[in-house]
Chains A and B, each alone.
Chain A
Amino acid sequence: MADLKEQVVAMRQSFFDEVPLSPPLEILDNYFIQLEQLENEDNPNFVEEVVSVFFSDSFNHLAIIEEEMNKSPVDYLKLDRYLHQLKGGSASIGANKVKIAVNRTREDCKEGDMEGARASLQELRMEINSLKAKLETYYELVAQVDP
């Protein structure tokens, strides 16, 4: 059990560690912590619920964005709208790296660099998947530690 707890703590810490780069690229930022502070006995799984909403919603958006990117001609407005939403959602849950990846994709689109945008989109997808996996693991651990 102590091990598990340690694991939980360590994993949690990893979310907020700043990768020694510039700009700092922590996986999660303070907004995530703010979300956690909103949790209470009434809904103990609030954060988990919100992040799962975020993931399902963002996968939908990713699919639409990808489809739009492959259309011709590209509807930039539509692309930007969806990316903008992704940005809002990721920022709201404190998914810092995801947000940064979204911004990169948006910039590529704005510049009309569709090839770059597609590559950025893949990176974005990767970030989202990675975060999803990590959080799922984390919550599983937490559940084990504190059922």
Chain B
Amino acid sequence: MNLSNDKGSMSTASSSVVSDQFPAGLRVLVVDDDPTCLRILEKMLRTCLYEVTKCNRAEYALNLLRKNRNGYDIVISDVHMPDMDGFKLLEHVGLEMDLPVIMMSADDSKHVVMKGVTHGACDYLIKPVRIEALKNIWQHVVRKRRNELKDIEQSGSVEEGGDRQPKPSEEPDYSSSANEGSWRKRRKDEEEEAEERDDTSTLKKPRVVWSVELHQQFVAAVNQLGIDKAVPKKILELMNVPGLTRENVASHLQKYRLYLRRLSGVSQHQGNSFMSPQEPPYGPLSSINGIDLQTLAATGQLPAQSLATLQAAGLGRSSAKSGVPMPLVDQRNIFSFDNPKLRFGEGQPQHMSSGKQMNLLHGIPTTMEAKQLVNLHHSAQSLGGMNMQVSVHGAQSGQSNSLMMQMAQPQSRGQIINETAGGQVPRLPTSMGQPVLSNGIAGGVLTRNGVGENGRGTGYNTVSQTSSMLNFPLNHTPELPGNSFPLGTTPGISTLTPKGPFQEDVNSDIKGSVEFMSSYDIFNDLQQHKPHSWELQNVGLTFDASQHSNSMPSGVDVTPSVLINQGYSSSQRSGQNSNAPPISKAMFSVGEATEHGNSQNIGQHLNNLLVDNSMRVKTERVPDTSCPPTLFSQHYSQGDLMSALLKQQDGIDPAENDFEFDGYSLDNIPV
């Protein structure tokens, strides 16, 4: 079928949301392989005075979105499509562009609708769609913007419709109060949204405000139990907070997991925040959420600790400390790259809003742009060593992996660069560089690759990361073998196969390899469990990576981690990936290779992330599927979490200057 592209009066990048006639002019992209429905939807949307672009293939839709990230306000997609599962598209869009996505289907079975929720769809329409249902879709755009603005501003004043301009963070320092504030704010927003969503099946309960203290208690409880064993009931018991219900904890846990996952991919950004607290898992986490990036950048503190803690938190490991640095470093790397990262955001620092999407990768605002990069740079330096380590240790749970990965990624990159120089990188199959997992699998794969790579490198971690990290620049990719990650090619990890050999290594490496491994492990685990989901997730990330192809040296892992998680979970669903590990690799490769170019958009975020991560990955082999499942123990939830996190993420817009990530804002991430 041919796509009919009714851009017609395609509005320019400038937000159409804030126009006077809003919601008229809302730019909608509708994707459905059924021509009858597509035609009807188009007509209905036009009748609502929206600007409609229709697509009958998901791939094409993704391309459109990537080419013009700011060209659309909202996406409506069918669930069942021949070339790509609607949920995969959802994830990609969430990760890469952070646009609100509405799913629709003639299938109204509860589990499918739930899938939409967990993957991050902001709404689910049952076909046949009535025009009344379409008249109100603008609310999703507004809501998302509001949340994003809140995150950015931290001031809580969000205008209607929000202007897209990301507001510079007003909190240059990472003081806990600032972090808390923003974090809390974000969490509140997310909590609200999440709660709304959660409420579908449960009774309405008074909303719980997850204050920083409460969250810290939560994280402490999770760490104590171990991320794998952290079940809401036990967490609740440990926390011993009167009035807190199991459901509260459950939903918070879900978000948290996603957040962790995201972190691993985005570790770079987080690095900042991590850095500050060394404390136990929670410390960094909270910071991560909020200002992570900033912290990371600014402090340059040992991210390791924060990372470690984060990781630990995520992973449930207590040892996180050592490993933590990864994320931080990664972030730096990511940022330091300047290019890769900027790529995402097209170098537009401003693009917070758009960047956010991209940054989905893990909350690493791609838009961070130069400034952030600089920050990261610094932080990365110190973190460099640390992060890597963190990741390594991280092998623990899948979540931690994700975190690790994320974190590690930036580091890995650095490391990889350093180390890879030694030729380690080569391990990373070029596929890693291929961020382009078009199918999403690729994404996963990429990450894997990336991850694996890092793992292999073992040596990297500590590296000179600072230096390497900084240099991470995607250009480094050379180290990573050009894995031509077929990412885009096949949805499953199959694409990754090219890396084949690599993958195996990756997994094993990750585990054993140094510090990286920890992050790597996450990936591995993730991969193992959900090869597919990884891809999905990664894909999103990796795609960008591919774009950066040159910019991201293997390190781009950062994103992969995030992606991986997502992909992981998603892939699980699709059950496609068998090569989970590859994904991580892929991620890396993506970051590095960016070769693929498929992921152009994704690449941005990912690239940055990947870059860092990929570095890591390279050095450490990312254990492929063989990796201990620990990482993924959570994978099933990760996917959900990821989406949740991602969703929350939208608030995480990367501030130009600081990397404020709201770990929890997962809005972007479609899982």
Binding site for B on A (CB under 8 A): 31, 34-35, 38, 43, 46, 49-50, 53-54, 57, 81, 84-85, 87-89, 91-94
Contact = CB atoms under 8 A, between A and B. Distances in A.
Contacts of A53: 35-36, 39
Given A46-B43, A84-B106, A31 B36 contact: no
A32 B105 CA distance: 18
Given A81-B80, A88-B127, A54 B44 contact: no
B37 A92 contact: yes
A85 B40 contact: no
Contacts of A49: 39
B43 A57 contact: no
Given A53-B35, A57-B35, A87 B40 contact: no
Contacts of B82: 81
Contacts of A43: 43
Interface string B17-52: 000000000000000011111011001100100000
B129 interface: yes
Nearest to A35: B40
B43 A88 contact: no
Which of B39, B82, B130, B131 neighbours the largest number of chain A CB atoms within 10 Å of its CB?
B39
B47 A89 contact: no
Contacts of A92: 36-37, 40, 127-129
A31 B128 CA distance: 8
A88 B128 contact: yes
Contacts of A84: 80, 106-107
Contacts of A88: 34, 36-37, 105-106, 127-128
B33 A38 contact: no
A89 B105 CA distance: 11
Nearest to B127: A88
Interface in B370-409: none
Interface residues of B, number: 20
A115 B44 CA distance: 40
26 contacts: A34-B130, A34-B131, A38-B43, A38-B47, A46-B43, A49-B39, A50-B36, A50-B39, A53-B35, A53-B36, A53-B39, A57-B34, A57-B36, A84-B80, A84-B107, A85-B33, A87-B106, A88-B34, A88-B105, A89-B36, A91-B128, A92-B127, A92-B129, A93-B36, A93-B128, A94-B128
A2 to B, nearest CB: 33
A54 B80 contact: no
A56 to B, nearest CB: 9
Interface in B107-122: 107
Nearest to B105: A88
A93 B106 contact: no
Given A34-B130, A34-B131, A38-B47, A89 B34 contact: yes
A46 B47 CA distance: 12
Nearest to B126: A91
Contacts of B33: 85
Contacts of B35: 53, 57
A91 B180 CA distance: 50
Nearest to A57: B35
Contacts of A81: 80, 82
Contact of B34 (A35, A38, A46, A85): A85
Given A84-B106, A91-B128, A54 B43 contact: no
A34 B129 CA distance: 10
A57 B35 CA distance: 7
B2 to A, nearest CB: 13
Contacts of B47: 38
Nearest to B130: A34
Contacts of A54: 36
B597 to A, nearest CB: 30
A68 to B, nearest CB: 14
B76 to A, nearest CB: 14
A143 B129 CA distance: 29
Given A31-B128, A38-B43, A38-B44, 18 more contacts: A34-B130, A34-B131, A35-B40, A50-B40, A53-B36, A54-B36, A57-B36, A81-B80, A84-B80, A85-B34, A87-B106, A88-B36, A88-B105, A88-B127, A92-B127, A93-B36, A93-B40, A93-B128
B272 to A, nearest CB: 46
B397 to A, nearest CB: 33
**5 closest Cβ contacts across the A-B interface?**
A88-B106, A89-B36, A92-B128, A54-B36, A91-B128
Which of B36, B37, B128 neighbours the largest number of chain A CB atoms within 10 Å of its CB?
B36
Given A53-B35, A53-B39, A57-B36, A85 B80 contact: yes
B334 to A, nearest CB: 40
Which of A81, A88, A89, A91 neighbours the largest number of chain B CB atoms within 10 Å of its CB?
A88
Contacts of B107: 84
A49 B42 CA distance: 13
B39 to A, nearest CB: 5
A143 B5 CA distance: 31
Contacts of B43: 38, 43, 46, 50
Nearest to A51: B36
A46 B43 CA distance: 9
Which of B35, B82, B106, B128 neighbours the largest number of chain A CB atoms within 10 Å of its CB?
B128
